[in-house]
Structure 1
């Protein structure tokens, strides 16, 4: 019989970007790729990072999202044969859960015949994720500004005028997002709120115009990073290098524990990496070099012939 196989390619993301807590995010050129076909039983062939977790049939966020979305809409989930190639580190503040939930919702919409448009997929994934920043950047690409209104996500993607390079600096151990959120206060002073509002506006303008010299000031934050340094000590070590060499900015990546370092476009990153390692001290780190992903998430259905 002929059926539609779905191919998905979703980028990693770095959210918050300093002052843009739960609002701003950036898509990065590390990807989760999935090929899915309806089958008699569930199966997953996984390669790439954290293949053991991605390939498990139990406690699998991708399958859980796929099944729960369809069941909530009164559809019996058809089993899938999945090929997963994961390039996004799990639990490191690089948007792995947002990419996985988006994939699960997209699979549900496709194989369950939900007839959802792209914004409905984005809205549902954001609802499951709990905030729209990572999901919007993952789905739309580029630098995104996102908010929720009347139970829908309104988001816009900007193509930065200057395509700066990105270094994702990862410590050894992952950090659960709930633990990172737990240390943030529930209220703030007016001066802190105004401080962040000014920098969110400046940061958005800097990305839109390519003024990299503004990033060092624009990523300053008083809402979440000062409270997260205790659970993300790498951030405290690397914040002082912002503005040194060709380094434009240093921010926590998402909820951490990774740190995002933006570097001037077109430069040799060797000096920046050396500076990062020197300030990390004895802490064991991995540095992933990538560029800003400008393309939206790819969802492509292909007709194939298969015997079930």
Structure 2
């Protein structure tokens, strides 16, 4: 019976202006242990989502594994799966992307594939399940990622480049107790935005790449956004207020992904005094530089 263990980081997407483009891997991890078996499927889940997520073929990790075997081959006759989840669900920390990456990487490893050599098909599979590549690329590759999509005549193709985040950035995730739906918050976005807002956000996205990698003193202007956060404010006003409060105190901050978690980009993992943190749990994290990690046994 061949087994693999996969450790996958959470992620924060958008980072202010980089809608569906920028992602940051964070030091909070889901772990999956997958064992090939003679027959059947057994799924065990502990931690986040236990008792709530399905334990059959509709489980996202299993779905990602099946999709990967459909492409790469090597599906075993049966599977035993243990999921130990630490990434909160529906909070804007890339839990679904982490699950998809964990499943895809575990399936490739069980099939005897070289994970490094299969990075592109794994990105296509996981980003395809997500519909965009920012979270999936960050969980797969680690560090800071810049993701984009090419649309051809027959299929979408996802791309991502990994960059090293500046060591002087100490993220703090202010994890909201409330949940949020990505589909719902996307529904709040307008079909068109003013040209001035698009230009503003484009300039800040370019600046963010510089700020996150080399010039963290520029993170305050680099995390400004006019493309999506203001439109989503009605979905999580407390989160939006906390972003405003952090920025008022000189801490660069943005909504993490689709929210409602807030990402504060501190220098030392400390938050200013006087913040109203009711409904939020501060969680100092490091930037995960490694992405998905595999052990076989």
Distance change >3 Å, CA 275–CA 294, structure 1 → 2: farther
Taking the aligned partners of 2:53 and 2:8, their CA distance within structure 1 comes to: 15
SS of 2:186's equivalent? helix
Distance change >3 Å, CA 20–CA 65, structure 1 → 2: same
Taking the aligned partners of 2:2 and 2:72, their CA distance within structure 1 comes to: 21
What's 1:130 paired with? 131
The reply on whether 1:252 has 2:247 as its aligned counterpart is no
The alpha-carbon deviation at position 71 of structure 1 amounts to 4.9
The alpha-carbon deviation at position 67 of structure 1 amounts to 2.8
What's 1:201 paired with? 206
Taking the aligned partners of 1:197 and 1:71, their CA distance within structure 2 comes to: 38
Which range moved further: 38-47 or 90-99? 38-47
How many residues in Structure 1 have an aligned counterpart in Structure 2? Answer: 290
Query: Could you give the per-residue CA deviations for residues 117-164 of structure 1, whole angstroms, max 9, x where no partner exists?
Result: 121111111011100100111111111101123533321111122342
The alpha-carbon deviation at position 173 of structure 1 amounts to 2.2
Query: Which aligned pairs between 1:156-171 and structure 2 lie closer than 5 A?
Result: 156-171=161-176
The alpha-carbon deviation at position 187 of structure 1 amounts to 1.4
Query: Could you give the per-residue CA deviations for residues 74-101 of structure 1, whole angstroms, max 9, x where no partner exists?
Result: 8766321112211100111100000111
The alpha-carbon deviation at position 108 of structure 1 amounts to 3.3
State which of 239, 246, 253 in structure 1 corresponds to 2:243. 239
Taking the aligned partners of 2:6 and 2:75, their CA distance within structure 1 comes to: 22
What's 1:296 paired with? 291
Does the CA contact (< 8 Å) of 1:54 and 1:84 recur in 2?
no
SS of 1:202's equivalent? helix
Query: Which aligned pairs between 1:139-178 and structure 2 lie closer than 5 A?
Result: 139-149=140-150, 150=152, 151-178=156-183
Does the CA contact (< 8 Å) of 1:241 and 1:275 recur in 2?
no
The alpha-carbon deviation at position 298 of structure 1 amounts to 0.6
- TM-score under structure 1 length normalisation: 0.86
The reply on whether 1:226 has 2:230 as its aligned counterpart is yes
Does the CA contact (< 8 Å) of 2:64 and 2:125 recur in 1?
no
Which range moved further: 42-51 or 126-135? 42-51
Query: Which aligned pairs between 1:1-308 and structure 2 lie closer than 5 A?
Result: 3-39=1-37, 40-53=39-52, 56-57=55-56, 59-71=58-70, 78-111=77-110, 117-149=118-150, 150=152, 151-209=156-214, 211-243=215-247, 248-265=251-268, 269=270, 271-272=271-272, 274-276=273-275, 278=276, 280=277, 283-302=278-297
Which range moved further: 167-176 or 46-55? 46-55
The alpha-carbon deviation at position 217 of structure 1 amounts to 1.0
Does the CA contact (< 8 Å) of 1:78 and 1:112 recur in 2?
no
